[in-house]
Structure formats: C-alpha cells, structure tokens
Structure 1
Amino acid sequence: MELIDGKKIAEEIKREIARKAAEIIDAEQTPPHLAAILVGNDPASETYIASKEKACRAVGFTSSVYRYPAEISEQQLLEVVDFLNTDEEVHGFIVQLPLPRHIDANKVIERINPAKDVDGFHPVNVGRLALGLPSYVPATPAGIVLLLEKYGIETEGKHCVVLGRSNIVGTPVSLLMSRKAVPGNCTVTLCHSKTTNLAEITRQADILIAAIGQPGFVTGDMVKEGVVVVDVGIHRIEDNSEKGYHITGDVDFKSVAPKSSYITPVPGGVGLMTIVSLLLNTLKAYNREIYS
C-alpha cells in the first residue's frame, strides 16, 4: 500500500505556478488576479476562502474577496457578478457555495462569464467538458486526475467506480475518467443513493473514487485487493481528544488501506489539490488558454 501524498504534489505544482507568476511580474505585467464572492459566514466557506487567499499570496497572484451579508438580495448578488465579469483587472473568480436559500445558485452560476468561471461550474464549461473540448474543469475532479497522473497510476481499460453524482465532483470526475486521454480511458460506473447492490459494484472497482459525503462509508469488505482508492470526503468528527475532534473521509481508512495498492489520506490527499487546481485554472484564464 502506498499513500498518495497530496501535500507533496500540491507543493510541487505551486512552485511551478510561482515560477510562472514571477516571470510575469519580472516582465512588468500585472499578475493573475483571482477573486471570490463570499455571502454569509459559513465556517467551512470561510476556511476555504482563507486557504485560497494564502495560496494566492504564496505563488504571487493577486487575491480579493467580496464579502456580503447573508441578507443580500439575489439581484444585488447578480450585479456583483456582472461587475466582476467586466472588470479587466480580475482574470477569474468564484462564487463560494452554498448560497443562502433565497438565492438561486444556478441563476448566479449561469450569470458568470464562462471565460472567468475558474470553478468550471457554468453550463458552457460543463458542456465543453462533456464534449471533450478545452474547458475549465472543476477544481476537485481536476485535482484527482492530477494525483493519478503524478503517481503514474494506470487508468486505461480499468474499471473506475465513482460514489456520488454531484455536479461539483462525482459527475465531472466520471466524465474525466471516461474521456479519451491520459489519465482516462476507463470504463466508469457512477453510483449514487439509489444504486442497488452497491457493494457488489464497488468490489469490481480497479479505481474507486469516494465522494458520497458520508464519513467512513466505504469499508474493507466493499473493495478488492489492489484497488486504487481516492477519498474525496472530509468530515469533522467530535471525540474526546485534546482537540475535541478528528478529521476523516468517506473511506474507513483502517479497513480499506491494507487492501489498497494506492490510497489518498484524509487529510493530506485530495483536499490540498483543490486550491492548486483553482490556481491552475486562474493561470489559464490569465493566458486566455480556453477562451482566446
């Protein structure tokens, strides 16, 4: 069993991004600018945005956050999106989810200029991804593929089982793993809450991507020997330790790891790749690689 070290890979990629940003600055050009819209004070969202700001500073990007109270109206938020769409100093931006219930998240996402949609959630980018055209790929799925690539994990002809069909992770990563590319060329089974005989399917997986949102859901009896396991879940579980909690994923690491050829830890695996992928998308937006 080998751990897939997301921290090591993320640091390697950030060093390369920083080198490219330094070249831009040395040429006396404006560095890439990643902005974020944050509505309300959800703790998880606050943590993610703080991590994004830190990562931007580390690689030499400009970072800005537009903070608004949870009471902001949908129309007011759409006007903020319109402003960032036309701001030439902002190369890419995200709208942090979830949004308050009175705001239609789909309407907000559809309002984003696809050329600045570095989260890869706009229907245009999702459609281009489905068709195998150049697009901004959602950060977590992109990070998963990067990890598989960096570790040289064979994917062609393998059976990849994805647990969870969210638009943020499950659905896009299933598209990435099935496309004609490296990594890719998998036969993909996308499972969800209505899937019957789930354990029978997961035991067939050569590569198992768990993004089902339930702590410890995947257990040792649900996987075969030699499986590659990618754990996307991250959950804070209260306990009697000094910190009062521990972090775990969707996979029961203790029972699954001994049967795995490769496995991502939680923390230290996929999560660290998400922001790196966001930085890579921002660099692409800056260079107009997708929409020239």
Structure 2
Amino acid sequence: MNIVMNTQRYAQMIDGKATAQKVLEEIKIEVVGLKAAGIEPCLAVVLVGDDPASHVYVRNKVEKALFVGIRSLEYRMSAETAQEVLLQKIDELNADAAVHGILVQLPLPDHIDETAVLQRINPMKDVDGFHSENVGGLSQGRDVLTPCTPTGCIRLLKDTLGNDLSGLHAVVVGRSNIVGKPMAALLLKESCTVTIVHSRTQNIQEICKTADILVAAVGKPKMIDASYLKPDAVVIDVGINRIQENGKNRLVGDVDYEDALTVALAITPVPGGVGPMTIAYLMKNTLEAARMQAKQI
C-alpha cells in the first residue's frame, strides 16, 4: 500500500468518537434484522465490588446497548462475594439460551481468581474475547470473538489507510494479554509485518522509527514522542493515564500527542480516540455472538 506523504507535517486526528458512532449505527441496523428473524441479542454484565471507574464503564455499556437495541441485564454483587457464588452466576448465564454475551467487569476483588472466572464463561458468549479458546483461535487466524479494544483499533486503521493493510510494518509497544498480544495477532491476520517491543527490548526507539503503524499500549504517560516516529506513521494510542499538569488533572495517552502531530500522518487523541471504539466493539461482539449461537440451534 502507498501511504500519501504528509507534506504539511501536521497529522490528521483519527476521530474515535465519530467512528464509534458509525459502528453503533451499523450495529443498530443489523440488530433490527436479527430481531426480524426472531433473535433478540442480549448482553449480561456482572459487576463485583464498588470500583467507581467500573461503575462508569458499566453504565456506558448499558447505555450503548440500549441505543443499538441490544437487551442488557445487570448483576451487581458486593466486594465480599465469594468466588464460588460468582462462578455459579456465570453457570446460570451460560445455561440461559436467551443470553448471548457475558461480560464480567474487571478488575475483580483480590480474593477472586480472575483467570478462573474468565475461563468459566462459555467461549461463544465471551464478548470480551479473553477465554483461552478465543485467544488460541485468534492466534490460529480463526474467526472467533476477539478483544474489543484491539479490534476497534483495526477498524480505525482501516478507516485511515484503507482495508488493505498487507505488507505494512506495525510495531506494538506493550505485550499485555488484553491489548498488546491480541493486537499483534490481529495485525498478523491483516498480513502486516509485526514487531512487539516491551520493557526488555533493546533499542526501542530505533525499532519504533521503522513502523508504518505504531500502536502504543504500555501504560507510560507520553513515553512516545516525535523522536520515536517514522515520518508519516499512523499512530494508535491505547494508553489512558491520569497525570497532574499545570496544577490540573489530565488524561493523556502513551504518546506525546502535540509532539507526534508534527511527524505522524494520523494519530488518535486521548481521550476521544480508542476508548469509544472499545464499547462499540463490545456491542459488535454481542451481535456476532448472537449470530454464532443461532447457527448452533
């Protein structure tokens, strides 16, 4: 693919809010079609504890489900809930044919084994894409439910560069199970040449400067500045970091946005970039889960 050079040296902002809204409108139409066929997509969200951020996330997810016409169920449990009680609730939701997607909001209280909980969810209802069956399927290039954030990143890249990403060199900064690893797998599925860099990588800056696509998901505020970027790279900033700047609290990404603007072809802002795409693709996964399960009947 030929990337048009940014001769003005001022990057295009990749508007995640606008793209997420477009995705939600697409889903809304598809949900109408499913309902006409007698299938009402349903998402069950389980929230354990009183983490304020988790409550905000759950409220946003429920609002978006209402917008696209997906039925949502909420199950709120106290922070003292025993692991076995949570697992029993997951078993109930797995057995309920009317529920197509199950999401257990993370993080969980310390006494609950996160892996045991995520593994208990039926892989066909695992709309977070965290079950090992789905993780393995993604690594094999199979069509499975994939993690929402990296899948949303792929949509942003395609809307920016076109549907054919093949041959482009993508560097992923970070190797987390939630973003870094699945992001790399999805980019490989798109026939990109993929490099992952992390805390033990030598010459990170030099490697990043070879990237046509750079995805930052490392959790370090403004770690990536213009000196890390190849001219006209497309930058996807997954980081969300709260910092104090000039006496005020600010949300910033892993990329120094203002500095990167002078070099990149296009870049996602924080906030308003990747974040809205995550919830949009949760709705998309719920829709796909409903379709998958309908084929099993």
Q: TM-score, normalised by structure 1?
A: 0.93
- Which residue pairs with 2:6 in the alignment? none
Residue 256 of structure 1 and its aligned partner are, at CA, apart by 0.9
- Which residue pairs with 1:135 in the alignment? 144
2-side partners of 1:225 and 1:28: how far apart?
A: 49
- Which residue pairs with 2:21 in the alignment? 11
- Which residue pairs with 1:118 in the alignment? 127
* Pairing partner for 1:277 from 264, 274, 281: 281
**SS of 1:246 mapped into structure 2:** strand
- Which residue pairs with 2:262 in the alignment? 258
Letter in 1 for 2:218: I
* Pairing partner for 2:64 from 55, 61, 71: 55
Gapped regions of structure 1 (runs ≥ 5): none
1-side partners of 2:181 and 2:174: how far apart?
A: 8
1-side partners of 2:58 and 2:30: how far apart?
A: 23
Gapped regions of structure 2 (runs ≥ 5): 1-10
* Equivalent pair of 1:92/1:282 in contact (CA under 8 Å): yes
2-side partners of 1:58 and 1:75: how far apart?
A: 34
TM-superposition CA deviations, 1:83-140 (whole Å, max 9, x none)? 1111122110111111111111111111110110011100001111010111001000
Residue 209 of structure 1 and its aligned partner are, at CA, apart by 0.2
- Which residue pairs with 1:191 in the alignment? 197
2-side partners of 1:289 and 1:228: how far apart?
A: 36
- Which residue pairs with 1:233 in the alignment? 239
- Which residue pairs with 1:164 in the alignment? 174
Q: TM-score, normalised by structure 2?
A: 0.91
- Which residue pairs with 2:222 in the alignment? 216
**SS of 1:151 mapped into structure 2:** helix
1-side partners of 2:202 and 2:84: how far apart?
A: 42
Larger deviation, residues 165-174 vs 188-197: 188-197
- Which residue pairs with 1:32 in the alignment? 41
- Aligned pairs, how many? 285
* Pairing partner for 2:271 from 247, 267, 272: 267
* Equivalent pair of 2:44/2:99 in contact (CA under 8 Å): yes
Change in Cα spacing, 1:22 to 1:161, as seen in structure 2 (3 Å) is: same
**SS of 1:135 mapped into structure 2:** coil
2-side partners of 1:265 and 1:161: how far apart?
A: 18
2-side partners of 1:145 and 1:18: how far apart?
A: 20
Residue 259 of structure 1 and its aligned partner are, at CA, apart by 0.2
